[in-house]
Structure 1
Amino acid sequence: MKKYLKNIIGILGCILIISCSNYLDVQPEDKYLEEDVFSSEAGIQTALNGIYSNMANNNTYGSNLTMSTLDVLGQRYNVADKIHPWHYYAKYNYEDNLVRATFDKIWTSQYTNILNINNFIKSIDTYKGVISAENERILKGEAIGLRAMLHLDLLRLYGPIYSTNAKDLAIPYYTEAKASLSPLLTATEVIANILNDLDIAEKLLENDPVRKYGKIIVPQFDEESDFKGTDFYRHRNLRLNYFAVKALQARANLYAGNNQAALKAAKTVIDKATEWFPWTNPLDIISAGANPDRTFSSEVLFAIQNNNLYNNQRVLFSSSLENSKILAPQNSRLNVEVFENNQNDYRYNSTWALPAVGDKQYKTFFKFADVENKKKDFRFRQPLIRISEMYYIAAETEQNSSIALTYLNTVRLNRGLVNLASGVDIADEIQKEYQKEFYGEGQLFFYYKRKNIKSIPNGSLESGTISMGANQYVVPLPLSELDFR
């Protein structure tokens, strides 16, 4: 981010020098480009699509913040071999050059996306009247919601352990497209900014088509629907829609310990969004032949379109990879500890298998493997927020244990599992669910950090744990940031 800002500052300096000459009245080229982009609704839509596309970059949600780096930090995989490319990540060796470079890329890419978001919001306000007021509200709502989401994940990664050190300095929060540095804020201040942005986004998205039509997968002029929006306002699950914003409110409030606010937001999603984001039909998972819906796509509130998804699957999880390169769990960890020897769990029998190719004697990960039918609408879609998380949040924050258990059992029922009996340790069962549900989605490490769990399973061994604390949970700010402060 700071390297990027340095370049901008340099450009501004050049402009100031030029302004002292006869070129004072010459408009910068980037101003022409901006006016051209925001002079039409198609241009504005393209600009927002570019932000979503950048989120699928491997530096952030395409890989690092989902299926690779964060899941390695969560001790998902056996990377015991010192020559394994992920070995030092699992050791939380944040001083290693490659590890440091990765977290520098995450930081810089996230803040570059935030800068682009802020520039989009500013330009929407600058070039008024190009699109209708209602469409403007929807696009601004999406952008402001995205800004909150990106800052939240930066806070969860680089910020302090919130439950014990919320007053510590964490990260900067940018709400303007400017070249100057914003100060580091405390974690509580960052959360306040996140929740404020999410409140604004919710209000702007009050008339989001998702609330009346759901994902809107119907054709533009389908006779059975009165939806008359253009293609750009279809497939609301690929955009930060109203329900995704409510889900982020639940996620952020839970992280901050605002349990009742988290419960309220989660229940809104459960009560209002289930109609449009139903539980995946088991037949689409276990009886779909060569076309299983392994990501349970109907339940995903927000996904990105990642055209590199299947290449990432091959690079990280392919059975043709050497043992010292593949990301794969210890058999006993996967089969016994995580899935409790339960072959009926859809998350287990659809995603994990002994590969037919290669000589692997352990199960490998197939969640993001491609399917034969290239017309399946879930292809290339990478889940970032799913409705099951709202049930876990409701179960964790609901004070009535019977109701809490109902939320938990609802997810289990839709994963092919029997109900848990009353009297079980709900907190323990929620942790088991995070371990099962979010493989390849990066949420387990954030769960461990939020709960400040002192020891977690050592993914590189068949048994045993790793002691966890601030040195493991808190990723140091990149040198590219500190050098400018």
Structure 2
Amino acid sequence: MKKIIISTIILGTLAFTGCNKWLDVKPAATTTKDELFQTQKGFRDALTGAYLHMKSGNTYGGALIWGNIEYLSRNWDVVSASNSALTNLAAANYTDATVRAWMDATYQDEYKVIADVNSILERIDGKRSIFTDNNYALIKGEALALRAFTHFDVLRLFGPMPDNPGTTAVLPYVKAVSKEIVVSLPFQEFAQNVLADLDEAEALLKDTDPFVQYSMAELNPLPNSTAAPVVADNYYMYRQIRMNYHAVLALKARVYMWLAPSNSANRANAAKYAKMVADAKDRTGVPTFRLGKAADRNAGDNTMSPEHIMAISMYDLKQKAIDLFLEGGSLARSDFNIQDGYYYLNNLFPVAERIADVRWVGMWSYKVTAGNTNFVMNAKYLQRETLPVLQIPLLRLSEMYLILTECAQSKAEAEDYYRTYCAEKGIPFTNGFNAAAWETDRKNKMIREYVREFFAEGQTFFTYKRYNVTTLPASWTAAFYSGTTARYIVPKPDREINYHNK
């Protein structure tokens, strides 16, 4: 039975950032956990620290969004043939020392976030009397949901295939910050812990999250706005870049989809929670989220922020996009300019379908630098000069519509959801799914939509793993990708195995 030791974290010198001000925490030498958690502000600062850890380049600030995980799904090619580490990563050669170090760092940093929120959760009930208004429910609910979110991504990356998870222990679900050994759990028990945290978070946030009542626009005032804020405490604002109530529902939909192969009832639950998000409305009856469309792209909002359910704020995203995606960047597709050009992308985005597709128009271009002209760049994270959207989406409304399409019980119902999605995205969908084999046609279309929709967002690899894709459908890509269990199950750090190798 495999186990892991999670060491105690001392909250050290961290600069905690809110949307409108910086909050400073005393160095570890003078500030202990007990001192930090004497006030409501201390709990808020600790939660902000967890969000800051999520911006790590090893997790949602890079590796699990546009970096390593996109190489594993072969969404990027290795621009420089001399880069042996990236070549090994793209080949899922987990025995390579550099590749192992990268994946181990992701594992470690995910558990750092978990330790942050566990520091909050192990104290918050005993300090409930210090909280005002809805702060107790908001902070505890967010902390529980973040614990579920990070554990679930550890499971998706390092855990077994969801269609055949087995009964052996796989990973630890850590609920306390201590030096005690945490025993690894089997897949199903681990997943039930994820759902239990989300159930509790949902109950806490349902009637307390300002995002349930107020619109995204009300909670995200534009710079220099003279309108009176709808909430007196600015901690209640900018909820779509936090683990809000709707994000909890969306994450539950994603989790149930992952569990769907082992229990058909999970598909119904996935659809239920996805529909709750899709149907959400503010106090005036206006939908809380809407699907991204051409107008957003034309305005330079390439990540379609109106459909962001949860995101992380990144102040230097504009420069990161320039450094990583443009001429000098390493994140590119090899796409030999033969026949009508864009060989890979012509299959991913068929010529007849992409005329108005918001994931295609203005989003791809060849590099012009000598020696790199066969490489194609993606513009998803490039920013407009005015009102840049400096946030990385972690949950989006598009996924909810794909889940609803995939979980629909009939061809007509599936077509209704997919047609709504296609209409906003600029995808022609006039004839419906193939009548003779509509479920197979739906499956192939859903896999392709996940790749097209979430390119450079870290979801392609998980989509392939969930479907256990061995080769991609010949109808939309070349035979360049080979999926195997060995590729999909990333080994856990050797340190854990060496400690408990029985």
Q: Which residue of 1 aligns with 2:381?
A: 368
> What is the aligned partner in structure 2 of residue 343 from structure 1?
355
Q: Report the secondary structure of 1:170's partner residue.
A: strand
Task: Evaluate the alpha carbon distance shift between residue 5 and residue 30 of structure 1 in structure 2; reply closer, same or farther with a 3 A threshold.
Answer: farther
Counterpart amino acid of 2:191? I
Counterpart of 1:140 in structure 2 is: 140
User: How many angstroms does 1:363 deviate by?
Assistant: 2.6
**Mean CA deviation greater in 223-232 or 133-142:** 223-232
2:97 pairs with 1:97: yes
Runs of 4+ in 1 over 4 A off after TM superposition: 6-9, 29-32, 222-226, 355-359
Q: SS of 1:466's equivalent?
A: coil
In structure 2, what is the equivalent of residue 123 of structure 1? 123
**Secondary structure in 1 aligned to 2:311?**
strand
Question: In the alignment, is the contact (CA less than 8 A) between 1:198 and 1:245 conserved in 2?
Answer: yes
Matched, 1:446 2:458: no
State whether residues 319 and 326 of structure 1, in contact with CA within 8 Å, keep that contact through their aligned partners in structure 2. Answer: no
Q: 2-side partners of 1:306 and 1:4: how far apart? A: 31
1:213 paired with 2:214, answer: yes
Between stretches 269-278 and 183-192, larger displacement belongs to: 269-278
Q: Secondary structure at the match of 1:162?
A: coil
Q: Which residue, out of 426, 432, 439, partners 2:448?
A: 432
- Greater shift, 43-52 or 245-254, is seen at 43-52
The separation in 1 between residues aligned to 2:311 and 2:432, in whole angstroms, is 35
Unaligned runs of 5+ in 2: 11-27, 261-265, 337-341, 435-440
1:31 CA drift (Å): 9.0
- 8 Å CA contact 2:152–2:194 kept in 1: the answer is yes
Q: 1:311 to 1:478 in 2, by over 3 A?
A: farther
For 1:263, give the aligned amino acid.
A
SS of equivalent to 2:154: helix
TM-score (norm 2): 0.83
- Relative distance call for 1:6 and 1:484 in structure 2 (3 A) is farther
Distance 1:345 1:456, change over 3 A: same
Pairing of 1:233-252 with structure 2 (within 5 A): 233-252=236-255
Q: Which has the higher helix share?
A: 1
What are the superposed Cα offsets for residues 348-398 of structure 1, whole Å, 9 maximum, x if unpaired?
12321235666634431121123322x43x2x2001000110111111111
Equivalent in the alignment of 2:20:
none
1:403 corresponds in structure 2 to 413
CA distances 1:4-55 after superposition (whole Å, capped 9, x unpaired): 845779xxxxxxxxxxxxxxxxxxx779532432333333222211111110
Amino acid of the residue matched to residue 298 of structure 1? P
Alpha-carbon distance in structure 2 between the residues aligned to 1:333 and 1:132: 58
**2:390 aligned with 1:387, yes or no?**
no
The answer to whether the Cα contact below 8 Å between 1:310 and 1:369 also exists between their aligned partners in 2 is: yes
1:484 alignment partner in structure 2: 499
Q: How many residue pairs align between the two structures? A: 452
Counterpart for residue 156 of structure 1: 156
Write the distance in 2 (CA, Å) between the matches of 1:160 and 1:66: 21
- When the two chains are superposed, the root-mean-square deviation of aligned CA atoms in Å is 2.7
Q: Is the 8 A contact 1:405 1:426 kept in 2?
A: no
**Normalization by structure 1: what TM-score?**
0.86
- Secondary structure, in 3 states, of the residue corresponding to 1:59? coil
Task: Please report how far the alpha carbon of residue 227 of structure 1 lies from its aligned counterpart in structure 2 after TM superposition.
Answer: 2.9
Counterpart selection for 2:424 from 407, 411, 414 = 414
- Residue matched to 1:14: none
Shift of 1:194: 0.5
Unaligned runs of 5+ in 1: 10-28
Deviation at 1:88, TM superposition (A): 0.7
SS of 1:184 mapped into structure 2: strand
**CA contact 1:317–1:328 (8 Å) conserved in 2:** no
Q: In structure 2, what is the Cα distance between the partners aligned to 1:63 and 1:182?
A: 28
Pairwise CA distance, 1:308? 4.2
Residue in 2 aligned with 1:22?
none
CA–CA distance in 1 between the matches of 2:202 and 2:7?
A: 34
Judge which range, 72-81 or 293-302, deviates more.
72-81
> Aligned-pair distance for 1:74?
1.0
SS of residue in 2 equivalent to 1:433 = helix
Following superposition, the deviation at residue 259 of structure 1 comes to 0.7
Q: Which amino acid aligns with 1:36?
A: E
Alpha-carbon spacing, 1:7–1:281, altered in 2? closer, same or farther (3 Å): closer
Shift of 1:219: 7.8
SS of the equivalent of 2:156 reads helix
Give the counterpart letter for 2:294 in structure 1.
P
Instruction: Measure how far apart 1:179 and its partner are.
Output: 1.8
Q: For residue 16 of structure 1, what is the aligned residue in structure 2? A: none
